[in-house]
Amino acid sequence: MECSLIKEREQQVFTKGRDNYTIASERGSAAGSVSQRACVFCGSRVVLYPIADALHLVHGPIGCASYTWDIRGALSSGPELHRRSFSTDLRENDVIFGGEGKLYKSLKRLIPEYKPNAVFVYSTCIVGIIGDDVEAVCSRTAIEEGIPVIPVHSEGFRGTKKEGYRAACSALLRLIELDDELRNIETGSKIKKIINTKPVINILGEFNLAGEAWIIKDYYKKMGVEVGAVLTGDGRVDEVKSAWKADLNVVQCSGSLKYLAKDMEDKFGIPFKQVSFFGIEDTADALYTVAEYFSEKPEIAEKTRELVQNQLSELYPVLEGYRKDLAGKKAAVYVGGAFKAFSMLRSLKFLGVSVVLMGSQTGSPEEYEEMKDMADPGTVIVDDSNPSELSRFIIELDVDLFVGGVKERPMAFKLGVAFCDHNHERKTALAGFEGMFNFAKEVHKSLMSPVWQTIGESKENDPWKAQ
């Protein structure tokens, strides 16, 4: 395999037990490598998209908007304005003479018609090239219409998808800083501490795919902890604005929302804990982490223990059945953020499935060091991989199951390998204890499907196979 790697990528592919170097990461994709990463604009769109009472206006050619239309399976318990795809539809004339006028007209038409509580205006590649003053148009419209109109500086060419996460976090912070209560507080250098009567947390990096935020919120409710805001799953503009009042931020999707968590720590003094709600161990840890933080209220720890025990006593016997069938199978995991890959590794190991290939689009050097520690000898670890590499490894490592996203699915099926969708388009909740049950069921159903045997037989009996 080594000889077929693009030279610039050699340090981004690592085999545990054979190689001995720091995995190169957080760099632009190598020329010639068809990276699985999306662009900066897409990165910011996926983070902000679930804010359901905001209007999301893509300032650019129509293709950028259509490419990200309804991009997540993020559910809303109320308005569904986020599911619309609005675009300024920039064309040749706008590129030559500027698109500011078209943006202003679009905002002036859309705001009265859809009555959003805020607007996010996404800058795409061409807007960065022609140099529209999006800030000025947004400020003018915000004053005239009396709602926040927030520019998202997400020109596609600005860097990697991670830059898009950063742009989304900046936009979220701008929205929080517009909260009237916060602005009215005499701050000096620090804001006054809000004394909540009940412990209040925000959940960052949870997007309510298939209702996952509701599952997690329910756990915290049972523990006696209030969830002030989820950023951004089932999000509302007012909830986001009040996020500065929380006592603690728990951050699930570390790749996307950690920037905001750090900013909120600096500006509002809210500490954050990194957690994951995927898999039994990680979900239990996420709940105990919060209980521990509020240790001055021992009843929270008591309720947490009770909750976890009840969930596990129901779940273990069911999972045991799946484990019997799955033992000895081999999986590849390639996802957006490395932290999610850790949870996948633990969950698959629990089910008796070994992970022989793992990687992410946006992992950090520290995360890859952790990945190396967790992986079994012989496991191949990849950063910012591409279809060519992934396909080759799947064949060479004789993988039975691929856990990935929409871009990996056709690859798995073409290679005759079972697939489990763990990305943002999915319609099945995979978070929490319920999610672990769904994950085990899906992995089992996919791996045990008789179709793999049929495919194997047809390959054996292929009359056109070279002799």
**Residues in touch with ligand SF4 (CB under 6 A):** 39, 41-42, 60, 64, 67, 124-125, 156
Of all residues in the shown chain, the one whose CB is closest to ligand SF4 is 156
39 or 335: CB nearest ligand SF4 = 39
CB of 164 to ligand SF4, least distance (A): 9
Angle made by CA atoms 281, 282, 288, in degrees to the nearest 5 = 90
Over the range 179-210, which residues count as b (16 or more CB within 10 Å of their CB) and which as e? beebeeeeeeeeeeeeeeeebbbbbbbbbbbb
Angle made by CA atoms 117, 121, 124, in degrees to the nearest 5 = 160
124 or 254: CB nearest ligand SF4 = 124
CA-based diameter of the chain, in Å? Answer: 82
CB of 208 to ligand SF4, least distance (A): 24
39 or 280: CB nearest ligand SF4 = 39
- How would you write 254-269 as a 3-class SS string? HHHHHHHHHHHHHHHC
Backbone angles phi, psi at 163, to 5 degrees: -65, -30
Q: Which of 336, 337, 385 is CA-nearest to residue 357?
A: 385
* C-beta of residue 204 within 8 angstroms of C-beta of residue 177: no
64 or 110: CB nearest ligand SF4 = 64
Specify which residues 333 forms β-bridges with.
Answer: 358, 403
Q: How many CB atoms lie within 10 A of CB 367?
A: 22
d(CA 160, CA 43): 8
- Strands ordered across the beta sheet of 13-15: 13-15, 380-383, 354-360, 330-335, 401-404, 418-421
CB of 99 to ligand SF4, least distance (A): 13
Position 135: which residue type?
Answer: E
What are 172's two structure tokens?
């979220």
CB of 70 to ligand SF4, least distance (A): 15
CB of 69 to ligand SF4, least distance (A): 12
CB of 37 to ligand SF4, least distance (A): 11
211 or 336: CB nearest ligand SF4 = 336
CB of 63 to ligand SF4, least distance (A): 6
CB of 42 to ligand SF4, least distance (A): 6
22 or 66: CB nearest ligand SF4 = 66
124 or 249: CB nearest ligand SF4 = 124
60 or 116: CB nearest ligand SF4 = 60
